[in-house]
């Protein structure tokens, strides 16, 4: 038999249901409305039916040098003769210097693919035309005049304008019918303008229709080595804030401010940090004392003093251990030490005699003095070691 839910579980389920309902309602309200493809900007970022992301990615996959252009036309680089600017239904208003930059771009040999009646505000010498706002399907248009852009494209589909009848001698109607033009080209300076009535042939939903793809490639890439700039600036994409600030002196100012800040921080931390005395090696170190004393003896050539100190130390320890007078002759001291300690009497006598002869003569034979001091020290160390062993034996007993 299933157990009934307690009050806490019921409240939890009710709260979860209410929260789910609120999320569904909010998602419904804030979700973007589905718009007709007629009113979708042909942006290279848009994957909608009326967007142009497929055309942009196609150019990339085919190996063309294409990039999204989110800067003002005044910043277009040099070499216009090998540059193509795509103005697909520009909607943002242009400034006078931007229109002048586009005019200069064409005069120096640039090429522009423009779509829609809104491009008339940017194209030099262009006359606007009325756009059709009825939602009829795209129509087929056939070539009207010979042009390189019609190569391999005998028939295209496009939503027709209300009425476009170019009347300037320089404007050539490439595609159209008895009522309206669909594609027009004209020369300006050394450059050329390819103007479509609508962006339909390059949109995601219509680029595969009839010969739209071939028309697009003929219009935007007349040569394989051109640099294609797909304008997004007049769609409102002006790049990130940092991309804008990077063109100003602000980054260098921030770098200088950062250096000053690091200098202040380093100065403050050094001044306000914990005070610690530096580690100093004691000058009373035994080895340092030995080095200092040795350097002192060496500088004044006092070899006899070192020998005398070593000899006196040995006689003091030895006479005290053997119970003899401090002034006992060296021969008697060596003989008693040999009898009681088992030392070699000739070697000890030779060392004591040499030390007594060496003392007081100011000898500067450093190596001989060092050897004699070492020998006397060895005797003293052997005697002191024997005394320490006897004390340990007594302590053990």
**42-88 pLDDT per residue, tens:** 999 999 988 999 999 999 999 999 999 988 899 887 788 899 999 99
Q: Is residue 52 part of a domain?
A: yes
Side-chain-side CA neighbours of 162 within 13 Å: the count stands at 8
CATH number, residue 53? 3.40.50
* Boundary (domain end) residue, out of 242, 276, 295: 242
Same domain, 181 and 110: yes
Q: Do residues 190 and 44 both lie within one domain?
A: yes
In the listed set 179, 212, 242, which residue is the last one of a domain according to the structure? 242
Residue 277 placed within a domain? no
Position 123 scores a pLDDT of 93
Give how many domains the chain has, as a whole number.
2
The DSSP symbol for 186 reads E
Tell me, yes or no, whether 295 and 360 share the same domain.
Answer: yes
**Same domain for 153 and 85:** yes
Nearest to 317, CA basis, from 261, 380, 266: 380
Whether residues 109 and 226 share a domain: the answer is yes
Query: Residues 167, 312: one domain?
Result: no
174 within domain boundaries: yes
Q: What b/e readout covers 48-71, taking b as 16+ CB neighbours within 10 angstroms?
A: bebbbbbbbebbeeeebbbebbbb
Q: What percent of the chain has pLDDT above 90?
A: 33
pTM of the model: 0.54
What is the C-alpha to C-alpha distance for residues 201 and 221, in angstroms, rounded to an integer? Answer: 15
Beta bridge partners of 86: 113, 230
140 lies in some domain: yes
- Residue 22 maps to a domain: no
Residues 112 and 175 placed together within one structural domain of the fold: yes
Query: pLDDT tens, 269-314?
Result: 555 656 677 777 666 666 677 777 777 767 766 677 778 888 888 8
Q: Please give the chain's pLDDT, 397 residues, in tens.
A: 445 556 666 676 677 777 777 777 776 665 544 444 445 789 999 999 889 999 999 999 999 999 999 888 998 877 888 999 999 999 988 899 999 999 999 999 999 999 999 999 999 988 888 877 654 578 899 999 999 999 999 999 998 888 898 888 889 999 999 889 999 999 999 999 999 999 999 999 899 888 999 999 999 987 778 999 999 999 887 765 555 556 567 777 777 777 777 766 666 655 565 667 777 766 666 667 777 777 776 776 667 777 888 888 888 888 888 888 878 888 888 888 888 887 887 887 888 888 877 665 555 456 777 788 888 888 888 877 765 555 555 555 5
Q: Are residues 76 and 163 in the same domain?
A: yes
Residue 158 covered by a domain: yes
Residues 298 and 191 in one domain: no
In a domain, 141, yes or no: yes
Whether residues 73 and 143 fall in one domain: yes
Q: Are residues 302 and 171 in the same domain?
A: no
Instruction: Show the domain range for 185.
Output: 37-242
Q: How far apart are CA 361 and CA 303, in angstroms?
A: 9
238 plus 301 within the same structural domain: no
253 in a structural domain: no
The answer to whether residues 135 and 119 touch, using CB atoms and an 8 Å cutoff, is: no
């Amino acid at each position: 038999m299933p157990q009934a839910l307690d009050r806490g579980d019921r409240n939890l389920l009710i709260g979860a249901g209410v929260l789910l309902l609120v999320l569904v309602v909010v998602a419904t309200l804030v979700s973007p409305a589905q718009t007709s493809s007629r009113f979708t900007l042909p942006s290279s970022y848009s994957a909608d039916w009326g967007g142009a992301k497929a055309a942009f990615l196609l150019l990339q996959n085919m190996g063309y040098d294409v990039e999204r252009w989110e800067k003002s036309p005044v910043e277009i680089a040099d070499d216009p003769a090998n540059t193509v600017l795509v103005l697909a239904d520009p909607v943002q208003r242009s400034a006078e210097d931007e229109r002048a930059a586009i005019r200069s771009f064409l005069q120096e040999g640039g090429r522009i693919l423009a779509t829609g009646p809104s491009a008339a505000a940017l194209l030099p010498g262009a006359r606007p035309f009325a756009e059709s706002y009825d939602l009829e399907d795209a129509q087929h248009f056939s070539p009207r005049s010979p042009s390189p852009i019609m190569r391999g494209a005998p028939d295209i589909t496009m939503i027709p304008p209300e009425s476009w009848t170019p009347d300037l001698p320089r404007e050539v109607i490439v595609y159209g019918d008895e009522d309206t033009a669909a594609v027009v080209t004209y020369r300006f300076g050394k450059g050329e303008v390819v103007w479509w009535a609508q962006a339909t042939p390059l949109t995601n939903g219509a680029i595969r229709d009839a010969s739209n793809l071939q028309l697009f490639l003929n219009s935007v890439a007349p040569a394989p080595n051109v640099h294609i700039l797909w304008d997004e600036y007049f769609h409102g994409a002006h790049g990130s804030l940092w991309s804008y600030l990077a063109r100003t002196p602000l980054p260098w100012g921030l770098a200088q401010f950062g250096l000053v800040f690091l200098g202040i921080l380093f100065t403050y931390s050094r001044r306000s940090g914990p005070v610690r005395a530096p580690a100093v090696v004691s000058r009373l170190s035994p080895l340092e004392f030995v080095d200092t004393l040795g350097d002192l003896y060496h500088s004044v050539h006092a070899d006899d003093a070192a020998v005398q100190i070593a000899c006196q130390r040995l006689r003091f320890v030895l006479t005290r251990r053997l119970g003899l007078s401090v002034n006992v002759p060296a021969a008697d001291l060596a003989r008693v030490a040999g009898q009681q300690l088992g030392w070699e009497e000739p070697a000890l006598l030779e060392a004591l005699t040499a030390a007594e002869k060496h003392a007081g003569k100011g000898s500067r034979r450093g190596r001989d003095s060092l050897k004699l001091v070492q020998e006397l020290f060895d005797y003293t160390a052997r005697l002191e070691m024997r005394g320490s062993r006897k004390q340990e034996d007594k302590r053990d007993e």
